[in-house]
């Protein structure tokens, strides 16, 4: 117990800043997404250089980088993140750059509402580029690295559906804290379906979600605390009294596969759905899967809305640390188990990728379900063609 509390004390400042920063980033994404949904009837927007997703990605990256540097000192902050400066440095990207600069300034101006310092003067283009270029760390086994996924779940984002903003801190190769912002994942689970239908049926002109649905949530945890927390996504003012209305969350206690819910990716791009379906069948999962975009799957398990998330990548695909770091620590501290398919803990010390991953990733609400799945992987792997 002593070590647990030590860890909480040791990272208390980092956690507090990280949670506030993620609230700011979620608000930024919400504004970009609202504009996007108000101006397009086309459901799928590709992640082209000038797409709103790229504006959100780069703006979150610059905003998070600036706020972390402001709080901990530029010399102390290294960030591993998805987007690099190339996207925005091309000759034809002046419009994109201007959109990012405007979005970042609008976002940072509201930071003081979240208990963070806003800049004294508007950031210029070079300040924004510098903030983005600081996100060039490759992680590794030593030192401190913040790990950021600015908009996880591109398709969810452009469809007005689920996406996440994920920020984690890795120290000497271990994830020590994680914050996961889920702007469209309502605080009360039963609102999930209503919200989705609501988005499908309302006119494009009224894209804001009714407030009483609890817009979205932010989950967070410190390694070794044995606690994971959930807050309603704040519009700012309430964040000044930290930690406002956060509540403890725990994984589901269901350990019977017939009653367990599996979280599945919506898109099939880089995961093997058929192998996952075969495993689900062999361990006796009966319920309709919960299909959500992005790291919201980790949130669903940590909150007790689902029991299992499995991802078996197609051959040649390498899992990136920013797609998992924050979610893993939150699920584990909420009482769940996350390993590779061989039952080993995920290794975040090898740089930008989860190197040495045995076949795939299995996250579960508890040990009993986890063991059944690992056994099923061993039983069925040889006959599969992965």
**How many degrees, rounded to 5, is the angle at CA 381 between CA 376 and CA 386?**
135
Question: Residues 205-230: what's their mean pLDDT?
Answer: 76
Question: Residues 352-361: what's their mean pLDDT?
Answer: 92
More confident: 243 or 232: 232
Question: Residues 295-320: what's their mean pLDDT?
Answer: 92
Pick the range with the lowest mean pLDDT from 21-25, 49-53, 110-114.
Answer: 49-53
Q: Is residue 312 scored above 50 in pLDDT? A: yes
Give the rounded percent of residues in the chain with a pLDDT score beyond 70.
Answer: 85
Round the average pLDDT of the chain to a whole number and report it. Answer: 86
Q: Is 82 annotated as a binding residue?
A: yes
More confident: 41 or 163: 163
Pick the range with the lowest mean pLDDT from 259-263, 268-272, 328-332.
Answer: 268-272
The token duo for 230 is 């959930």
Catalytic residue among 54, 57, 63, 305: 57
CB contact burial 285-317 (16+ within 10 A = b; e otherwise): beeebbebbbbbbbbbbbbbbbbbbbbbbeeee
Residue pair 297/323 in contact (Cβ under 8 Å)? The answer is no
Catalytic residue among 63, 103, 154, 276: 154
Q: Is residue 208 scored above 50 in pLDDT? A: no
Q: Is 149 annotated as a binding residue?
A: yes
Question: Residues 129-133: what's their mean pLDDT?
Answer: 94
Q: Is residue 179 scored above 90 in pLDDT? A: yes
Q: Is residue 84 scored above 90 in pLDDT? A: no
**Domains recognised in the chain with CATH numbers:** 2-249 (3.30.540.10), 257-381 (3.40.190.80)
Residue pair 179/19 in contact (Cβ under 8 Å)? The answer is yes
Q: Is residue 123 scored above 90 in pLDDT? A: yes
Which are the contacts of 202, defined by CB distance < 8 A and separation ≥ 6?
A: none
Query: If pLDDT is split at 50, 70 and 90, which confidence band does 3 have?
Result: low
Q: Is residue 49 scored above 70 in pLDDT? A: no
Query: If pLDDT is split at 50, 70 and 90, which confidence band does 145 have?
Result: very high
Q: What is the pLDDT of residue 298?
A: 97
57 catalytic, yes or no? yes
305 catalytic, yes or no? no
């Amino acid at each position: 117990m002593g070590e647990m509390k030590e860890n909480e004390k040791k990272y208390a400042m980092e956690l507090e800043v990280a949670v506030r920063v993620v609230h700011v980033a979620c608000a930024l994404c919400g504004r970009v997404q609202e504009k996007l949904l108000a101006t397009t009837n086309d459901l799928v927007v590709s992640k082209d250089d000038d797409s709103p997703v790229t504006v959100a990605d780069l703006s979150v990256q610059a905003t998070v980088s600036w706020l972390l540097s402001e709080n901990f000192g530029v010399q102390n902050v290294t960030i591993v993140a998805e987007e690099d400066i190339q996207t925005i440095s091309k000759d034809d990207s002046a419009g994109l750059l201007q959109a990012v600069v405007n979005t970042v300034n609008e976002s940072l101006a509201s930071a003081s509402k979240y208990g963070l310092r806003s800049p004294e003067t508007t950031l210029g283009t070079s300040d924004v580029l510098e903030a983005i270029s600081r996100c060039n760390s490759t992680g590794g086994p030593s030192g401190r690295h913040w790990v950021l996924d600015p908009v996880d779940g591109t398709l969810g984002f452009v469809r007005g559906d689920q996406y996440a903003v994920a920020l984690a801190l890795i120290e000497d190769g271990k994830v020590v804290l994680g914050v996961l912002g889920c702007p469209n994942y309502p605080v009360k689970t039963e609102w999930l379906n209503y919200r989705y239908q609501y988005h499908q049926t309302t006119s494009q002109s009224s894209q804001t979600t009714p407030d009483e649905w609890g817009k979205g949530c932010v989950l967070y945890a410190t390694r070794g605390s044995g606690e994971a927390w959930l807050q309603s996504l704040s519009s700012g003012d309430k964040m000044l009294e930290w930690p406002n209305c956060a509540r403890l969350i725990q994984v589901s206690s269901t350990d019977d596969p017939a009653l367990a819910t599996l979280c599945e990716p919506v898109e099939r791009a880089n995961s093997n759905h058929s192998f996952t379906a075969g495993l689900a069948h062999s361990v006796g999962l009966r319920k309709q899967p919960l299909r959500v975009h992005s790291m919201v799957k980790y949130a669903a398990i940590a909150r007790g809305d689902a029991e299992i998330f499995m991802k078996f990548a197609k051959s040649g695909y390498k899992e990136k640390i920013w797609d998992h770091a924050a979610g893993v620590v939150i699920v584990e501290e909420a009482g769940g188990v996350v390993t590779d398919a061989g039952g080993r803990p995920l290794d975040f010390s090898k740089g930008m990728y989860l190197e040495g991953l045995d076949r795939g990733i299995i996250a579960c609400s508890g040990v009993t379900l986890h063991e059944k799945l690992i056994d099923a992987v061993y039983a069925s792997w040889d006959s599969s063609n992965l």
